[in-house]
Amino acid sequence: MRSKNNSDSGAMSLNALEQIDFQNYWLIAKRRWKPTAAIFAVTLAGSSVMASLQKPTYVADGKLLLRSNRLPSLTGLGGESAGRISNLTMQSNPVRTEAQTVLSRPILQRTINALKLTDNAGNPLNPDVLAGSIKVKDVSGTDVLEITYEDQNPAKAASIINQVMSEYLASNVQENRSEAIAAREFIAEQLPKTEATVRQAESALREFKEQSGIADIKGEEDRLTETIGEIEKQIAATHTDLTEINTRYNTLSDTLNMSTERAIDVNALSQDNKVQQLSKQLQEAQTQLELEYIRFTGRHPAITSLEERVATLQNMLQDRIRETVANGDISETDLSPGDIRQGLMKDFVNAEVQRLSLASRLASLTTTRDAYRDRIRQVPRLEQTQRELQRRLDAAQSTYESLLKKLQEVELTEKQNVGTARIIEQAAIPQLPARSTSNLIILMGVVIAILMSLAAITFLELGDKSIKTIKEARDLFGYTWLGTIPHFGKPVTNRSNKLEWSIPELPVRDAPRSTVSASYRMMQANLKFLSLDENLKSIVITSSVPREGKSTVAANLAATMATLGRKTLLIDADLHHPSQHHIWHLTNVSGLSHLIVEPNRGKDSIVPVLENLDVLTCGVIPPNPLALLDSKRMAALIESFEEQYDFVIVDAPPLIVAAEALTLGKIVDGLLLVARPGVVDHASAVTAKELLAQSSQNVLGIVINGAVSENEVQKSYYDHDNYIETSVVGAL
């Protein structure tokens, strides 16, 4: 049940909102009815005049069938695309494309020349003018184009349609033939170039095969892989033999305790007969010397002779050794090795030779294997290059063959008159005039008048930046709404013919039973409700811009306070444009400025105007009003007045004009803002609100002044009979 009630209330709110929006539109139209009515009347009158000038016209129509020509497909000549209508994109429509072709300038120009069409001045008719009179549309669901032309001469209308269709058919056939001619010329131009491309591709492929040295590149990788495998086997066998020889070599080296070079030298000396003879003689001399050492003592001549012989043989032997081998450091024991040692040295030398041979073979095989590996790594690149060259050759050959085939087809197509349209209905001379367009012109005039009127209203509303209704003012400022003062007073015109508002009366004093007086009592009650928790003693009344009636509101609110028995003081603190002395018909010889500067002289500046109501005028306007109002003396005066009176009302300058209102707002209990629809604009209102927010003012609320009932959606504020209901709503 609750959800149903919520939905019902939501629907009622929506309906109320739609009603309010409609009423707002109605109010806008009421505000702008004069220019709107003038524009509507002028536009409607113009359309009526145009309708009255219309003469009877006749409409002739003909039909074209757009269809593919079957001759190329029946004869097998001309290719598949000859005589066909095709669209360029998925969104395009071939029938509509042909409709635009019918209205092309060349076709219309040939029609004008054939029929010798002229304008009213006797000059040849402009093709664009003729195109604007001819209508071409496609019949829905078919491939038929309907062409119509409207003219006051029925025979002329029919002849124009028939001529346009004939020119279109001729152009259609000529266009197909011209396409074939252009295609033939293009192919004939491209054939030599394509043939040269084929020759270049063949030459490039041949040069590649010659440079790479590979006839069959696909089998080259398998052959290289097989060869590398065989080389790997040889490397493994050679490595095994080398390991075996190294082992044998190391064993012989340890056994003989000599290097290979020394073994070679010893072997060479053992084969030298002279070395062997000298070695044998040296051994015999040494043996004989040893025997002589046994037989003789001291320096016996025989010993000396043998020693000299031994030394001579040794020198001769060393000289021979140096002549035979490079290294002469050979011991005498090495000159006569035994058969076993001599055999080991031969094996040692042979092992060294085999070891070097196997190492050289292993290095050669490794180099060969690496070369084959480099070669096999190059095979993919070579294969890719060959494939690319082969693709180029295949593409060039395919293009060349395709061009040859197309050339034959185009040459045959060029000899055929292939068209894609035909006339299925000639235009007949119309016997009856077309439907009168007068009513249509008037109807269009009404629609245009309405649109222009709405555009004028929109333009005027967009150009008017002022706040127009109470709702706009309340929504824009967002402050507590304390009351609405209806408009009263009459406008007057000054000497410069500028509209101004007359000095308002004091309805609270002069018409206490009026709706305006009730509105001020409502505002007083709302202020009282605001100060239930705090004692509100003094307020500043200001506005965003001048002419919003803040001084009138201040004067009538002060009078309302006084009639309710509260002792009230009204201070005119607008030291720029004071007006309280005009409202109350007082002199402004002495006032607030004197009271601030000369306290003793200003005592008589406070003048009683009603029972419980005193007025303090502004006095002489000082050169710097802000300096006076922002002084300690002013704050002391406000504090003193709060002790003497029940309520103090300060009439301050507008916020955007001067800063006095913000200064005074800091020394009183609160600030009351007056807003007048039709006077204050959005920009000024936003600026005033920002100033109040930046200075942290205690804004008590907003009062809407000078509201006009005709501009408002809700008129209960101005209904005197509903005054009690309105007062209760405002108080809440």
Write out pLDDT tens, residues 187-236: 888 888 888 888 888 888 777 777 766 656 666 667 778 888 888 888 88
Question: Does 527 share its domain with 675?
Answer: yes
By the 10 Å C-beta count (0-12 exposed, 13-18 middle, 19+ buried), 665 is classed as: buried
Domain match, 555 and 701 both: yes
Pair 613, 564: CB distance under 8 Å: no
Residue 16's pLDDT band (boundaries 50, 70, 90)?
A: very low
Same domain, residue pair 443 and 475: no
Selection from 223, 191, 198 nearest residue 390 by Cα: 198
Q: Is residue 285 situated within a structural domain? A: yes
> Which residue(s) pair with 328 in the sheet?
none
pLDDT at position 636:
92
Q: What is the pLDDT of residues 686-696, one digit of tens each?
A: 999 999 999 99
CA 283, chain centre distance (Å): 112
The CATH number given to whatever domain includes residue 501 is 3.40.50.300
Lowest mean pLDDT among 200-204, 442-446, 455-459, 525-529: 455-459
CA 439 to chain centre: 50
Residues 154, 56 contacting (CB under 8 angstroms): no
Place of tokens 């005027």: 460
- Give a yes or no: residue 347 inside a domain: yes
Long-range CB pairs of 430-433 (<8 Å, 24+ gap) are 430/58, 430/59, 430/60, 430/154, 430/157, 430/158, 431/154, 432/58, 433/56, 433/57, 433/58
Query: Is residue 323 included in any domain, yes or no?
Result: yes
Global pTM exceeds 0.85: no
The whole-number average pLDDT for the span 291-301 is: 73
Of 462, 496, 512, the position where a domain reaches its end is 462
Residues 390, 205 contacting (CB under 8 angstroms): yes
CATH of the domain at 264: 1.10.287
Range of the domain at 376: 222-385
pLDDT of residue 721: 39
- Sequence-distant (6+) residues with CB within 8 A of 166 are 423
More confident residue, 338 or 187: 187
Q: Pick the more confident residue, 658 or 89.
A: 658
Say whether both 717 and 671 belong to one domain: yes
Domain end among 385, 402, 421? 385
- pLDDT value for 27: 56
Residue 333 included in any domain: yes
Place of tokens 């006749």: 58
Note the pLDDT of residue 8.
45
In the prediction, which pLDDT does 399 show?
Answer: 86
> Is residue 65 predicted with pLDDT exceeding 60?
yes
**621 residue type, one letter:** I
Model confidence at 713: pLDDT above 60? no
Residues 666 and 561 in one domain: yes
* Least trusted range by pLDDT, from 330-334, 417-421, 564-568, 679-683: 330-334
Q: Please give the pLDDT value at position 579.
A: 92
Given 370, 385, 400, which residue is the final one in a domain? 385
How does residue 12 score in pLDDT terms, banded at 50, 70 and 90? very low
Domain count, the chain: 3
Phi, psi of 529, rounded to the nearest 5 degrees:
-65, -30
Asked whether residue 419 is domain-assigned, the answer is no
490 Cβ contact list (under 8 Å, min separation 6): 502
CA distance 275 to 335: 8
Q: What is the share, in percent, of the chain residues with pLDDT greater than 90?
A: 17
β-partners of residue 326 are none
